[in-house]
Amino acid sequence: MPRAAAALLAAFAALCAAAGSALAESPFGAAAARLGVPGAVVVRATGNAAPRFEVTGCARFAADGVTCVVALRTDSLMRVASITKFATALGTLRLVEEGRLDLGSDVSKWLGFPLRNPAFPDRVITLRHLLTHTSSLIDGEEYFVPRPEPVRKLLDMPGRYDTAQPPGACTRYANLNTFLVGAIVEAATNELFEQFLARAVLQPLGLEAGINWYGLESLPGDRVAAIYLKPEDNATAAAPWIASIDDFAGGPPQRNPAYLSPQGGLRISAAGLVRLGQQLLPSASEKLLKSETMQAMLAPALVEPGPPACNPTDKDSQGRFGLGVQVLRYGDRTWTGHLGEAYGLRGALLVDRERGDILVYLVNGSIAPLPGDADILAALGAP
């Protein structure tokens, strides 16, 4: 491991040390400052027991990008990027249980247009393919359109398909898959996706959370954590933080109904993610899915991710995909859940079903690139 990466990893390991009584003086806070992140939350829980929190740093800066005006809290809500996909999958599979959707049919009937890889026109693309990233779809530069633009507009863009591999042949992670899942849910329910997810997942679990701040318009401004970046030409500790998303300057969060965001638009706290992650535990006290549906959700779509050309990213960091979940192997432990990274955020919701452990971390920005997720998990004490 390069010296700089080793130092960064060591700093992150220190970030996850036990917190002292005063945040500003704690080892946790000092390590976060050395690492150069504006704020960090780490949560560990076992089963349905009370979680253990460590939190430090800033949820929102003043206009100067230097002065912290709102401290990060355990109940601060932030955009958790692709961790959203797990919540989306829970809701979608509830519709499958109700018989309103199914995993094996051609999704064209819900989309209202034929969805086909032009290189394999006789191979249907199913909901299972979309949820497991085996559809042969590719993100490209854009993977969403504002309402009321037709979803089909995305598929008309060039380079949307892996023309070397048919649907079902290999894993290729693409946000576009989950975007289409959201469009299918809207067609099946005649609801906006954010309304559906609130009704089917968030409200039944008692979660204070929402897609694009839906249902959270009265949330106090000090409960919102913005996501930050440094200027591209001055990524230094002294440079001001620049909000990349969700900086409401102290006011209540503003719902944005213009975008369908099933792939990354969930706003939720670290505590809320623990509650959501309990759904993956066999001992969950309030289960949204039947046991057989959960088993189907957890089963990797492919034992191997396919030929190397399937996915240019590091397959070890991606793991294997079930229905809207990642199955990751680190050391002798298997973690199920989802990773998240966007706009400067890094985070994870991970559950060791065998031991009953839940691990959540959220970082709302960083000066320099953080280590890979495998290293972060190791630094968080997950062998």
Q: Which two tokens stand for residue 213?
A: 């701040």
pLDDT confidence of residue 301? 84
Residue 350 near residue 359 (C-beta atoms within 8 A): yes
Q: Quick count: other Cβ atoms within 10 Å of Cβ 45?
A: 22
Q: Is residue 38 part of a domain?
A: yes
Secondary structure class of 303 (helix, strand, coil): coil
Express each pLDDT in 328-362 by its tens digit: 887 788 899 999 999 999 999 999 999 999 999 99
Q: What is the mean pLDDT of residues 87-108?
A: 97
Contact 360, 274 (CB under 8 A): yes
- What pLDDT score does 330 carry? 76
Q: Is the pLDDT assigned to residue 13 strictly greater than 70?
A: no
Range 46-77 burial, b when 16+ CB lie within 10 A, else e: eeeeebebbbbbbbbbeeeeeeeebbbbeebb
> For residue range 141-177, what is the model confidence (pLDDT) as tens digits?
777 788 888 888 888 888 899 999 999 998 889 999 9
Report if residue 29 sits inside a domain: yes
**349 within a domain of the structure (yes/no):** yes
Q: φ, ψ for residue 193 (rounded to 5)? A: -60, -40
Percent of the chain as helix, strand, coil, to the nearest 5? 30, 20, 50
- Model pLDDT, residue 303: 58
Nearest residue to 176 via CA among 223, 140, 222, 206: 140
Distance CA(179)–CA(175), nearest Å, equals 6
Is the entire prediction scored with pTM above 0.85? yes
- Decide: residue 232, CB within 10 A, 0-12 exposed, 13-18 middle, 19+ buried: exposed
For 39, how many CA atoms within 13 A lie in the half-sphere containing its CB? 29
The single-letter code of the amino acid at 323 is L
What's the pLDDT tens digit per position in 194-223? Answer: 999 999 999 999 999 999 999 998 999 999
Q: Residue 12 is encoded by which pair of tokens?
A: 């992150």
pLDDT band at residue 107, thresholds of 50, 70 and 90? Answer: very high
User: Alpha helix (H) ranges present in the chain?
Assistant: 3-15, 27-35, 84-97, 108-111, 127-131, 152-155, 175-189, 193-197, 270-277, 291-298, 315-318, 373-379
Average pLDDT, the chain: 85
pLDDT confidence bin for 14, thresholds 50/70/90: very low
What CATH number corresponds to the domain at position 328? 3.40.710.10
pLDDT of residue 379: 47
Per-residue pLDDT tens digits for 20-68: 223 344 667 776 776 778 999 999 999 878 899 989 999 999 999 999 9
pLDDT tens, position by position, 253-267 = 888 777 889 999 999
Residues 283-338: pLDDT tens digits? 888 899 999 999 999 998 875 555 555 654 444 456 789 999 999 887 788 899 99
By C-alpha distance, which of 86, 85, 80 is closest to 364?
80
- Give a yes or no: residue 94 inside a domain: no
Per-residue pLDDT for 131 more than 50? yes
2 preceded by a cis bond (ω within 30 of 0): no
Residue 239, pLDDT above cutoff 70? yes
Say yes or no to pLDDT of 380 above 80: no
Q: Do the domain assignments include residue 187?
A: no
Task: Let me know: does 276 contact 270? Beta carbons within 8 Å.
Answer: no
Q: Report the domain count for the chain.
A: 1
**Domain range for 36:** 3-86+195-379
